[in-house]
Amino acid sequence: MRHGSPVLFIALLLSIALISIPAMAQQPCENLLSVKIPDVTFTSAQAKSPGWELPSQTGFINAPAMKIPVPFCRVEGYATPTSDSHIGFEVWLPLAASWNGNFLAVGNPGFVGSLARSGLAGIMQRGFVAAATDTGHVDDRYEWAIGHPEKWADWGYRAVHITAIVTKQLAQTYYGKRIQHSYWNSCHNGGNQGLNEAQRYPEDFDGIITGDPAFYISHLQPGSLYLSWLALKDGVKGPNYIPTAKLAVINRAVLDACDGNDGLVDGLIENPLTCKFDPASIQCPDNIDGASCLTAAQVDTVRKIYEGAKFKDGTQIYAGFERGSELSWSFMIEKEPFYVNWDYFRGMVYQDPNWDFRTLDVDRDTRLAVERTGKYVDGNNPDLRPFKNAGGKIIMYQSWNSTGLPPRSLVEYYRSVEKIMGGPAQTQDFARLFVVPGSTGCPGFGDAEDFNTFDAIQQWLEKGVPPEKIIHAYRDPGAARGQGKVYRTRPVCAYPKNARYKGSGDINDAANFTCVAPGK
């Protein structure tokens, strides 16, 4: 600046400063009421001041009232893509100065038709535009579904798609610029919603985490109900029933047989698919029932629970429970089936509140389920090429000890994706699978730090660093979820690799493990 004047120099500096300051303002929140989207009605758009109190939510969501400490813009509305639809949604937008440029959606559990506002609050306060939908009904069980197949589709895939479209348009109007990255991160039915998005609307989200996904509904629900039916069809006094106390006996025998398969006797089976434990090995001598053995009928039940439901021709309908998961079976076989599986038949397939699960014929009823509901609710299309071509990245994870969502079916799905994509390499560059040993489901949802998939997807999408492994923290049971002391960390390796102890150092420290290819 030898030849320039100091005044000009300062003016230049100021103009550079002005250019480099990002736009800090946004439209008035109320202006969003006038955004026009076909079949969408906005009922409210209100700027909220710091300290505004979000009322408590009852029902499945069950969240206490909370004060929101930051200002934000809250938009409420509904969509009517069909004459039988009424899809409620909310979008919470942080002020421009606090916005990180991204969008993160909130998913829904089971058939629950409530949108989790506490989830919106948490995500918005992290700087994201947050959105959630009630999936088209306000009812936690199944009554909403009877006689309303268009609402099944709203629940199955339409509500999330429309909410994504609405959110992007609102953000564009409010901030005057496009969302940079749109994320989906949810578990169980929320995982299913994410998988549906990748398959049906590849441009809605560019970073998707689909945790323990309850996917392929027309097969999952009958397949899972069948596992309960095996043990409970003749009641808790029937010959096929397995008393809860015996689950520990079976689990002990499984661990004795297979814990060491991964090279380390530590109470965890790294890959249950390597375990060939046969329950006949603990059958009672002379078939005289005892506390520490299984009757012949119980052996038959356990074998079939491992095998999972099949059509009469032997084709698999859905996976069974894995060897090593026995301690969580009581959830499914102690007294009655998991109500979500039963509700699917009461609300959709038979549309009859009195339908009795004991009458299940898994071959017939799965075929019926496909015929009556498949096109509305299924998300098992392995062709993710459009999603990949749109630049999307997806992390799928599943829990080996889950009983709500038998995990092997996601492994099979991932293999079917590999086939369509042209092989493992063409798949791993945009889709990775992690199967978590010892977890009974949604390991990142008690405390996100326990299994930080979100950090992994952000690194992948925004920095181009694909996740080779994700660390899983194990906590002492007994405390509230996410509150117990961490006693072990382990890497969960991207499929098909497995974690292997290096041979020295603390076995409870992830640093002493490496990821190895199967068979190595």
Q: Closer to Ca ion at the Cβ: 268 or 302?
A: 268
Binding footprint of Ca ion, residue count (CB under 5 A): 5
Please tell me the distance from the alpha carbon of residue 352 to that of residue 159, in angstroms, as a whole number: 25
Local structure of residue 56 (DSSP, 8 states): P
For residue 449, the minimal CB distance to Ca ion (Å) is 24
- For the window 355-384, what string marks contact with Ca ion as x by the rule CB under 5 A? ------------------------------
Please tell me the distance from the alpha carbon of residue 484 to that of residue 477, in angstroms, as a whole number: 6
Three state DSSP letters for 348-363: HHCCCCCCCHHHCCHH
Q: Closer to Ca ion at the Cβ: 259 or 278?
A: 259
Buried-state track 320-334, b at ≥16 Cβ within 10 A, e below 16:
bbbbbbbbbbeebbb
- Applying CB under 5 A, the span of 121-129, 255-263, 491-499, 511-519 interacting with Ca ion comes to 255-263
For residue 474, the minimal CB distance to Ca ion (Å) is 13
Q: Please identify which residue in 212, 262, 322, 343 interacts with Ca ion, judged by CB under 5 A.
A: 262
For residue 373, the minimal CB distance to Ca ion (Å) is 40
For residue 258, the minimal CB distance to Ca ion (Å) is 8
Q: Closer to Ca ion at the Cβ: 137 or 488?
A: 488
The dihedral built from the CA positions of residue 346, 347, 348 and 350, taken in this order, carries a sign that is positive
Q: Closer to Ca ion at the Cβ: 400 or 434?
A: 400
- For the window 214-253, what string marks contact with Ca ion as x by the rule CB under 5 A? ----------------------------------------
Q: Please identify which residue in 138, 264, 284, 297 interacts with Ca ion, judged by CB under 5 A.
A: 264
For residue 493, the minimal CB distance to Ca ion (Å) is 14
Q: Report the Cα–Cα distance between both ends of the chain, in Å, rounded.
A: 64
Q: Closer to Ca ion at the Cβ: 266 or 343?
A: 266
Quick count: other Cβ atoms within 10 Å of Cβ 243?
Answer: 13
DSSP state string for 131-159: EEE-TT---SSSGGGTT-HHHHHIIIIIH
Q: Please identify which residue in 84, 203, 259, 307 interacts with Ca ion, judged by CB under 5 A.
A: 259
- Applying CB under 5 A, the span of 257-265, 292-300, 395-403, 434-442 interacting with Ca ion comes to 257-265
- Applying CB under 5 A, the span of 33-41, 166-174, 222-230, 254-262 interacting with Ca ion comes to 254-262
Helix (H) or strand (E) holding 471: strand 469-475
For residue 437, the minimal CB distance to Ca ion (Å) is 8
For residue 269, the minimal CB distance to Ca ion (Å) is 6
Q: Closer to Ca ion at the Cβ: 269 or 461?
A: 269
Local structure of residue 347 (DSSP, 8 states): I
For residue 509, the minimal CB distance to Ca ion (Å) is 15
Please tell me the distance from the alpha carbon of residue 293 to that of residue 487, in angstroms, as a whole number: 32
Residue 451's SS3 state is strand
Q: Closer to Ca ion at the Cβ: 265 or 296?
A: 265
Report the relative pairing of strands 87-94 and 129-133 from DSSP bridges. Answer: antiparallel
Nearest alpha-carbon partner for 75 in 24, 41, 37: 41
For residue 265, the minimal CB distance to Ca ion (Å) is 6
Residue 412, burial from CB neighbour count under 10 angstroms (0-12, 13-18, 19+): middle
Residues lying near Ca ion in the complex (CB under 5 A) are found at: 259, 262, 264, 266, 268
